[in-house]
């Protein structure tokens, strides 16, 4: 006779292998039924030791033999037929007859092996649940209720009615697989578990895997003695049986200890699966051992199907209701963004900007300028947050309802920013949108201290992990968290921010276009001015040249006479002509220099410029009883300092030159900020200018007076205009003959750097 061996997994569960404890191959079963494994020829390759408790046969009598030896020929044929036509989704359980008794038999395949799990009917017959009534009740309930919570309560109550367990709980997992008792039906005299939370370590990863593969699990009695599954020793030394799909499968000793610590004797667990993930469990507890028959288990499983079929529908419906609200706000904001140039201020003045994500505050950073609404952190905190986001978030967006878990420093401003949705509006956080949510402190009721869910214990075998002994209410207060962001809220934020980003980009393009348009206009006017050089040669330069040539010719002709008077006169005119040409050439060179100055734009102290001007011209003005008054000029200006100094020097020189002999000279320099430019005025109470010449005088060589009246080249104001043009500003004049002149100059606060 062949030697037999058991296949019990004998390795110890210790601290190192707890998570990998191979519970799918325990090699033992619970005793409320027995197990047979068959090869394809119906020979028995596995047999649980307890077969003799149910049939008049010992394992060694049947191992290696054909199963037909156990039954009548007719029963063997029925079994063969059942196995051959077996469909795991369709076939009902097989009723196995043995010497006048009936057994319920479940079949599944494990590798090459056909596994039969055979249980007696507890009361000797096969009680069939009233599935029709169960369905009808469920459908009518479904029509009445919308709420997922209500539905779960109903399922808990119904499942308890069907199965008779002391307690039925609907367990719901969060994203980390911590479970919460979401609904409960229980015996009146036991304490409620509703609202309690269980840490994810209570159901380790491999147990969750099994819940996904095998949707129902019965543990009839935690105090059971495991029954070894036996096989023939000579078959294959490493032979083992994967029992993942087995219903009788033995239970992990850790789980048994856990249930014992809870005081529970029997359990039934049904997996609730949504989108191929474990959404939750229907967990039934009994405080004394309880075996429920196969068909009752199926009825309970049906409740699980009812519920999972509705979870997605209810959750989607809830989300849909939220989306509809949010979309209304989003539409309003999108319209503003697409229609208004000043849309940032406009969307911030609408409540929709907060409602679109149900946030408490919002920040829009545009080119480093902060615009806010509602509850937002202090400026320094925002700076730090933006800095962190810039360094740590490479994606376009980031959101969290527990910001401080990512960015520790955020705990210091958790009051306003426990939760954020961030979206960049460009490449850097200098352009971004952030919605903020305030802190919502909450208390989680854990069933026992979650940090001590598994504890190290020392027993005669050494160290091992053991589940906690105490399930006493353990309150944890959770800080630094806001309400969770829901999917429609995050989606709306992303859609709006993307739109804002595009719109800002378009506006920017428009602005750039405008700048280039202005630049090209300036180029055109520069060309026009260049053209006005043409008549330099024809008039201004020719006039003194003619003078020189007349007097030198005369000089040549008259030289013999050596008329001293004539000689002096001619040489005076020649010198005068040469000096005027010299001045003209110098002025022209200077004019030309303005456009070619390579000095870069800088921010400089305007005060320094006027201090120098005052020190040069002050004494001369005061000598004649006049005054130079510098009023509200900006401290700093962006531009080419030497040119700006020349601009004001020319204007003040003119004011001095064209002063009125009738009154002491008054020069006032003032400035005022308007939008994005400075408007300067330089006013005097001199001889004034007639309105009709107001434009002409800015052209090269344009003068209103003769050389005899006032010296000059007619280039001073042309140079001024060129300097102002170069700085993208404007210059014009308001003059009043015999009263005075006021020159207006605008200079942009931030001029565009020349190409
Ligand atoms: P210039 O002073 O060399 O003649 P400008 O281009 O500086 O040339 O000035 C052009 C003309 O504008 C002057 O000849 C003068 O007639 C007139 N003008 C300039 N500034 C003043 C002023 N502050 N008051 C009166 N007239 C002025």
For 341-362, the pLDDT digits (tens) are 889 999 999 999 999 999 999 9
* Site residues for ligand 1, CB cut-off 6 Å: 654-655, 658, 684, 686-689, 697, 702-705, 712-718, 741
Q: Which atom of ligand 1 is nearest to the CA of 702?
A: 10
The pLDDT value recorded for residue 561 is 54
Identify whether the C-beta of residue 285 lies closer than 8 Å to the C-beta of residue 165: yes
**pLDDT classification of 241: cutoffs 50, 70, 90:** confident
The residue whose C-alpha atom lies closest to atom 19 belonging to ligand 1 is 654
Question: Which residue among 617, 626, 658 has the greatest number of ligand 1 atoms within 8 angstroms of its CB, and so is best to mutate?
Answer: 658
What digits encode the pLDDT tens for the residues 258-295? 999 999 999 999 999 988 899 999 999 999 999 998 88
pLDDT above 70 as % of the chain: 85
Tens of pLDDT, residues 660-676: 999 999 999 999 999 88
Nearest CA to ligand 1 atom 23: 655
The residue ranking higher by pLDDT, 211 or 9, is: 211
Query: Has residue 464 got a pLDDT over 60?
Result: yes
The residue among 105, 134, 142, 108 whose CA lies nearest residue 120 is 105
- The mean pLDDT value for 424-443 works out to 88
Torsion of CA 556, 559, 561, 562, to 10 degrees: 150
Please give the distance, rounded to the nearest whole angstrom, from the Cα atom of residue 256 to the centre of ligand 1.
105
Q: Which residues of 460-490 are buried (b: 16+ CB within 10 A; e: fewer)?
A: eeeebbbbbeebeebeeeeebbbbebbebbb
Closest by Cα among 250, 241, 292 to 36: 241
Q: Please tell me the distance from the alpha carbon of residue 294 to that of residue 475, in angstroms, as a whole number.
A: 39
Q: Distance (Å, rounded) from C-alpha 438 to C-alpha 259?
A: 40
pLDDT at 532 over 60: no
Confidence of residue 682 (pLDDT cuts 50, 70, 90): very high
Strand partners, 398: 422
| CA 165/CA 437 separation, integer angstroms | 43
The answer to whether 375 touches 436, Cβ cutoff 8 Å, is yes
Q: How far is the CA of 690 from the centre of ligand 1 (A)?
A: 11
* Alpha-carbon gap, residue 13 to 298, rounded angstroms: 33
Q: By three-state DSSP, how is residue 466 classified?
A: strand
Most confidently modeled range among 151-155, 183-187, 515-519, 601-605: 183-187
Identify the residue whose C-alpha is closest to ligand 1 atom 11: 703
Structural contact between residues 197 and 446, judged by C-beta atoms closer than 8 angstroms: yes
What distance in angstroms lies between residue 67's CA and the mean position of ligand 1's atoms?
124
> Is the model's pLDDT at 8 over the cut of 50?
no
Read off the pLDDT of each residue in 41-50 and give the average, rounded to a whole number: 93
Tell me how far the alpha carbon of residue 73 lies from the centroid of ligand 1, in angstroms: 130
- Rounded to the nearest integer, the mean pLDDT of the chain is 85
Measure the CA–CA gap between 356 and 452, rounded to whole angstroms.
Answer: 41
Closest by CA to 30, choosing from 181, 189, 228, is 228
pLDDT tier at 454, thresholds 50, 70, 90: confident
- Please determine, for residue 16, whether its predicted confidence score (pLDDT) is greater than 70: no
More confident position, 548 or 509? 509
Rounded to an integer, what distance in angstroms lies between the CA atom of residue 549 and that of residue 432? 73
pLDDT band for position 15 (50/70/90)? very low
Ligand 1 mean position, distance from CA 694 (Å): 10
pLDDT at 379: 95
500 vs 201, residue with greater confidence: 500
pLDDT tier, 596 (very low <50, low <70, confident <90, very high otherwise): low
- The alpha carbon of 59 and the centre of ligand 1 are apart by a number of angstroms equal to 125
Nearest ligand 1 atom, CA 687: 25
**pLDDT for residue 535:** 45
379 contact partners, CB below 8 Å, separation of at least 6:
370
- Residue found by looking up tokens 């800002």 in the block: 504
pLDDT of 152 reads 93
- The Å distance, Cα 644 to ligand 1 centre, comes to 18
- Pick 690 or 548 by higher pLDDT: 690
With a cut of 70, say whether residue 409 has pLDDT above it. yes
Q: Are 543 and 701 in contact (CB under 8 A)?
A: no
744: closest CA among 753, 755, 734, 752? 734
- pLDDT digit string, tens, across residues 555-594: 666 555 556 676 677 777 777 777 777 776 777 666 666 6
Task: Please give the Cα distance from 68 to 43 (Å, whole number).
Answer: 9
Q: What's residue 593's pLDDT?
A: 66
Q: How far is the CA of 239 from the centre of ligand 1 (A)?
A: 112
pLDDT bracket for residue 394 (50, 70, 90): confident
Q: Alpha carbon 153 to chain centroid distance?
A: 36
Atom of ligand 1 nearest to the CA of 693: 12
pTM of the model: 0.59
Res 6: pLDDT: 55
Q: What is the mean pLDDT of residues 738-755?
A: 84
Of all protein residues, whose CA lies closest to atom 12 belonging to ligand 1? 697
């Amino acid at each position: 006779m062949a030697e037999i061996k058991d296949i019990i997994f004998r390795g110890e569960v210790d601290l190192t292998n707890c998570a990998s404890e191979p519970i799918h191959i325990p090699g033992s079963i619970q005793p409320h039924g027995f197990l047979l494994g068959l090869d394809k020829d119906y020979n028995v390759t596995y047999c649980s030791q307890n077969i003799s408790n149910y049939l008049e046969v010992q394992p060694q009598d049947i191992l290696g033999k054909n199963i037909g030896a156990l039954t009548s020929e007719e029963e063997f044929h029925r079994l063969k037929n059942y196995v051959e036509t077996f469909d795991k989704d369709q076939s009902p359980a097989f009723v196995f007859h043995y010497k006048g008794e009936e057994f319920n038999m479940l079949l599944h395949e494990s590798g090459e092996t056909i596994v039969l799990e055979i249980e007696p009917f507890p009361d000797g017959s096969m009680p069939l649940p009233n599935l029709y009534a169960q369905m009808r009740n469920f459908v009518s309930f479904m029509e009445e209720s919308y709420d997922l919570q209500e539905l779960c309560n109903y399922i808990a109550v119904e499942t308890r009615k069907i199965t008779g367990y002391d307690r039925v709980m609907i367990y719901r997992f969060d994203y980390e697989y911590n479970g919460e008792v979401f609904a409960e039906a229980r015996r009146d005299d036991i304490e409620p578990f509703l609202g309690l939370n269980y840490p994810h370590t209570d159901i380790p990863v491999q147990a969750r895997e099994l819940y996904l593969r095998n949707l129902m699990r019965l543990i009839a009695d935690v105090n059971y003695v495991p029954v070894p599954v036996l096989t023939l020793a000579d078959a294959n030394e490493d032979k083992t049986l994967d029992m993942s799909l087995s219903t009788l499968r033995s239970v992990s000793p850790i789980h048994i200890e856990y249930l014992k610590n809870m005081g529970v004797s029997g359990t039934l667990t049904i997996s609730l699966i949504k989108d191929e993930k474990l959404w939750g469990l229907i967990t039934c507890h009994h405080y004394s051992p309880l075996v429920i028959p196969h068909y009752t288990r199926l009825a309970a499983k049906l409740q699980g199907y009812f519920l999972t079929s509705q979870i997605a529908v209810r959750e989607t419906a809830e989300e849909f209701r939220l989306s509809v609200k949010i979309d209304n706000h989003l539409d309003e904001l999108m319209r503003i963004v697409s229609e208004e140039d000043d849309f940032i201020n406009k969307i911030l003045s609408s409540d929709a900007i907060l409602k679109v994500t149900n946030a408490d505050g919002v920040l829009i950073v545009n080119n480093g300028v902060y615009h806010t609404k509602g509850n937002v952190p202090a400026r320094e905190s925002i700076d730090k947050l933006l800095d962190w986001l810039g360094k740590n978030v490479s994606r376009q967006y980031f959101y969290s309802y527990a910001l401080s878990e990512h960015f520790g420093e955020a705990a210091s401003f958790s009051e306003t920013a426990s939760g954020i949705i961030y979206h960049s509006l460009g490449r850097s956080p200098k352009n971004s949108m952030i919605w903020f949510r305030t802190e919502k402190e909450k208390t989680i009721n854990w069933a026992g201290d979650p940090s001590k869910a598994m504890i190290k214990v020392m027993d005669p075998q050494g160290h091992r992990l053991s589940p906690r002994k105490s399930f006493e209410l353990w309150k944890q207060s959770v800080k630094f968290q806001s309400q969770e962001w829901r999917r429609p809220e995050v989606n709306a934020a992303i859609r709006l921010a993307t739109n804002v980003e595009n719109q800002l980009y378009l506006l920017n393009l428009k602005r750039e276009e405008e700048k280039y348009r202005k630049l090209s206009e300036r180029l055109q006017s520069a060309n026009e001015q260049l053209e006005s050089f043409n008549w330099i040669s024809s008039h201004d330069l020719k006039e003194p040249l003619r003078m020189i040539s007349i007097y030198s010719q005369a000089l040549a002709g008259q030289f013999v006479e050596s008329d001293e008077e004539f000689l002096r006169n001619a040489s005076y005119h020649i010198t005068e002509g040469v000096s005027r040409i010299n001045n003209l050439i110098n002025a022209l060179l200077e004019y030309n220099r303005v456009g070619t100055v390579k000095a870069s734009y800088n921010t400089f102290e305007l005060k320094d410029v006027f201090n120098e001007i005052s020190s040069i011209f002050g004494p001369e003005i005061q000598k004649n009883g006049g005054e130079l008054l510098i009023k509200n000029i900006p401290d700093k200006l962006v531009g080419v300092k030497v040119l700006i100094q020349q601009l004001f020097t020319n204007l003040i020189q003119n004011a001095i030159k064209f002063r009125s002999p009738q009154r002491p000279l008054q020069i006032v320099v003032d400035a005022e900020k308007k939008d994005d430019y400075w408007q300067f005025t330089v006013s005097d109470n001199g001889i004034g200018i007639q309105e009709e010449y107001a434009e002409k005088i800015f052209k090269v060589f344009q003068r209103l007076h003769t050389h005899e009246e006032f010296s000059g080249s007619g280039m001073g104001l042309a140079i001024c205009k060129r300097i102002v043009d170069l700085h993208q500003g404007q210059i014009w004049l308001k003059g009043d003959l015999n009263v005075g002149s006021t020159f207006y100059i605008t200079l942009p606060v931030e001029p565009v750097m020349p190409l």
